[in-house]
Amino acid sequence: MIPRYLVPFHPKRVPHYHVDLLVIGGGLAGLRAALAAAPEQSVLVITKDSIRQSNSNYAQGGIASVLAPEDRFEDHVADTLTAGGTLCHPEVAERVVREAPQRIAELIAWGTHFDEEDGQLLLGREGGHSARRIVHALGDATGREVMRVVIERARAAPNLQIWERAFTIDLLTQEGTCRGALIWNQQHGKTLIWAKQTILCTGGAGQVYRETTNPAVATGDGQAVALRAGAELRDMEFMQFHPTVLYIAGSSRSLITEAMRGEGAWLVDRNGYRFMQDYDPRLELAPRDVVSQAIVAQMEKTRAANVFLDLSHLDAKYVRQRFPGIAATCAEFGIDIARQRIPVRPGAHYMIGGVTVDLDGRVDIPGLWGAGEVTSSGLHGANRLASNSLLEGLVYGAQVGELASNAAREIPDDFRALSLDNATPDAGGEPLDLADIRNALKSLMWRAAGVRRDGATLAEAIESVESWCLYVLSRQFADPEGWELQNMLTVSWMMLRAALLREESRGVHLRTDFPKLDEPHWRRHIGFRRSADGQLREGTEAPGAKGGS
Ligand SMILES: Cc1cc2nc3c(=O)[nH]c(=O)nc-3n(C[C@H](O)[C@H](O)[C@H](O)COP(=O)(O)OP(=O)(O)OC[C@H]3O[C@@H](n4cnc5c(N)ncnc54)[C@H](O)[C@@H]3O)c2cc1C
């Protein structure tokens, strides 16, 4: 049973705020959307932590775009569809790929310094791309540079306000239309934000796993609030794992970019054996899912907690220059990346599934739009092509920002608070050790819905999550720790359930008990929706772009 709202609120007892556009999330998708609003409109951007804490800020490799004279849009589209398979929506890939050069040019015009050589953009190549087409910045810190520019621009826009450390608890809906959101911050407590149009850009859900590259903010809040408001979510079984995440006790789980393998790094096991030769002829440059699966298999075979990246056979000076960020992080733990092996293992990286949006970025709740990692647009199918996600955030962000701004222009100002039905259950009881449940959930997700899955383990995990949901979702909490856990449980349940239902292996979803692709039977999206009685309904649907202009 999923409650409609996590907490009660009474319109007479909370502050109210009215805006034209509410953008929930200040990563690349959210800020790009906010910057597309008409200058006379009031726009409010909400971020859960400081604005620097987003997946966008930590992106390393870069942004994919056809920029080289010998490259072609058709090839970028074909590479995207090859990676994602038949669950991709070709119309979406076409639109995103063709708009990429314009979005990159705009970032440059706004002041982004992408890496160059002799005045020409340096284009990198990543796994799955048939050409050099990745623009990157500061070597391996593309997200930091791009976010520097869009944050500066957003802060300078007179019509735009940013509220940091403001937690979105729920979307407000009245008669099936989105009217804004209920948020919470330390100074004012609960606040009702009334918006003519609302754009959801809350990013991913990597934090439901013990091992993840995602920062602490990525707890799947946007997916859960959209579900409670009545939106459809789909493709939740597709979590992409990054094969090489730094694994040092006590360190943050930093991603070690695949560009390192592109430059010639070897993957070796605890005995120094270069094991990829046993799994794939493309060795270290096999696709991400293949490398992740090989690493997990080798870890099991050698009974080790990790494998290693080895660059000691490459030019030491070049290695330190090419990967300055990773070199600095490893140096803090006494590892010289040019001479010593770097301990790595896979980690949850990118949430492919999410809130279903149409070709324009509309959610199926009037007044609500979505962009970026929180959504399922159909671009990534069952496996995301490297460096296509920042691009998706840019393209969809710009698009929904403009369309939502046009829609808001049609709605007259109305500064009344609406009366909403918000009865919220509270089972009460002994205080709960929320950190304990959270840790147990993260470990369970890693074991049951990690790189390799099987029916029996998934079914057991669903039972555990359902038992936690019984006493956690029926309570009211007073701060983000409780709400995040409620969201993580909701999102995890959908991920486990979809992974159990999909009895085949496709893209990033590997079922050891169903190791083969079952096309055309499973060429379907698995979707979830909350019905009015609070129950979750599930269904499947053939892929195909929904609506849009
Ligand atoms: C380490 C790392 C490296 C990556 N490298 C690349 C790369 O090289 N190329 C590429 O294309 N992709 C890369 N990705 C993926 C890419 O960064 C993300 O998919 C993309 O940045 C998502 O952008 P977004 O705007 O949708 O979400 P995010 O950038 O994650 O922003 C989410 C925003 O939502 C806010 N938020 C969340 N919940 C709430 C709430 N309850 N209330 C209020 N605000 C909330 C957060 O505070 C944040 O501001 C990488 C990801 C990681 C983690």
378, 77 Cβ separation under 8 angstroms: no
Could you read off the pLDDT of 447-475 as tens digits, one per residue?
Answer: 999 999 999 999 999 999 999 999 999 99
Angle value at C-alpha 37, between 177 and 39, nearest 5 degrees: 130
The reported pLDDT for the residue numbered 255 is 86
pLDDT above 70: residue 20: yes
Q: Which atom of ligand 1 is nearest to 387's Cα?
A: 11
Could you read off the pLDDT of 270-308 as tens digits, one per residue?
Answer: 999 999 999 999 899 888 888 999 999 999 999 999 999
Radius of gyration of the chain (CA): 22
The reported pLDDT for the residue numbered 546 is 66
Question: What is the pLDDT confidence band of residue 547, given thresholds at 50, 70 and 90?
Answer: low
Q: Which atom of ligand 1 is nearest to 57's Cα?
A: 29
- SS3 for 184? strand
pLDDT above 90: residue 97: yes
CA distances from 100 to 27, 246, 348, 491 (A): 18, 31, 26, 31
430 CA to centre of ligand 1 in angstroms = 35
For 133-155, b/e burial (b = at least 16 CB within 10 A) is bbbbbbbbbbbbbbbbbbbebbe
Q: Is the CB of 203 under 6 A from ligand 1?
A: yes
pLDDT above 70: residue 548: no
Question: What is the pLDDT confidence band of residue 76, given thresholds at 50, 70 and 90?
Answer: very high
CA distance 78 to 453: 29
The reported pLDDT for the residue numbered 332 is 92
Say which residue, 324 or 45, is predicted with more confidence: 45
89-97 long-range contacts (CB < 8 A, ≥24 apart) are 89/377, 89/378, 89/379, 89/543, 89/544, 89/545, 91/359, 91/545, 92/359, 92/377, 92/378, 92/379, 92/545, 93/379, 95/359, 95/395, 96/379, 96/388, 96/391, 96/392, 96/395, 96/396, 97/66, 97/73
Could you read off the pLDDT of 332-391 as tens digits, one per residue?
Answer: 999 999 999 999 999 999 999 999 999 999 999 999 999 999 999 999 999 999 899 999
State the catalytic residues.
288
pLDDT above 90: residue 429: no
3-state secondary structure 297-361: HHHHHCCCCCEEEECCCCCHHHHHHHCHHHHHHHHHCCCCCCCCCEEEEEEEEEECCEEECCCCC
Q: Is the CB of 202 under 6 A from ligand 1?
A: yes
Helices 389-409 and 90-109 pack at an angle, to 10 degrees, of: 90
Q: Is the CB of 54 under 6 A from ligand 1?
A: yes
The residues with which 234 forms a beta bridge, in sequence order, are 354, 527
The reported pLDDT for the residue numbered 259 is 79
Of 137-151, 241-255, 299-313, 418-432, least confident by mean pLDDT is 418-432
213 CA to centre of ligand 1 in angstroms = 11
CA distance 184 to 48: 9
CA distance 308 to 295: 10
Q: Which atom of ligand 1 is nearest to 375's Cα?
A: 26
Say which residue, 403 or 254, is predicted with more confidence: 403
The residues with which 348 forms a beta bridge, in sequence order, are 212, 241
- The preferred substitution site among 31, 47, 49, 55 for testing ligand 1, maximizing ligand atoms within 8 Å of CB, is 55
The answer to whether the Cα torsion of 407, 193, 214, 440 is positive or negative is: negative
**Considering the chain, what is the average pLDDT of its residues?**
94
Helical ranges in 43-89 per DSSP H: 55-58, 73-84
CA distance 299 to 276: 12
The reported pLDDT for the residue numbered 11 is 85
pTM here is 0.95
The residues with which 274 forms a beta bridge, in sequence order, are none
126, 149 Cβ separation under 8 angstroms: no
Assign residue 25 a region: left if phi > 0, alpha if psi is -120 to 50, beta otherwise? left
- The preferred substitution site among 245, 390, 486, 488 for testing ligand 1, maximizing ligand atoms within 8 Å of CB, is 390
503 CA to centre of ligand 1 in angstroms = 30
The CB density around residue 512, as the number of other CB atoms within 10 Å, is 12
* Residue with CA closest to ligand 1 atom 20: 56
pLDDT above 90: residue 399: yes
475 CA to centre of ligand 1 in angstroms = 29
Mean pLDDT of 441-449: 97
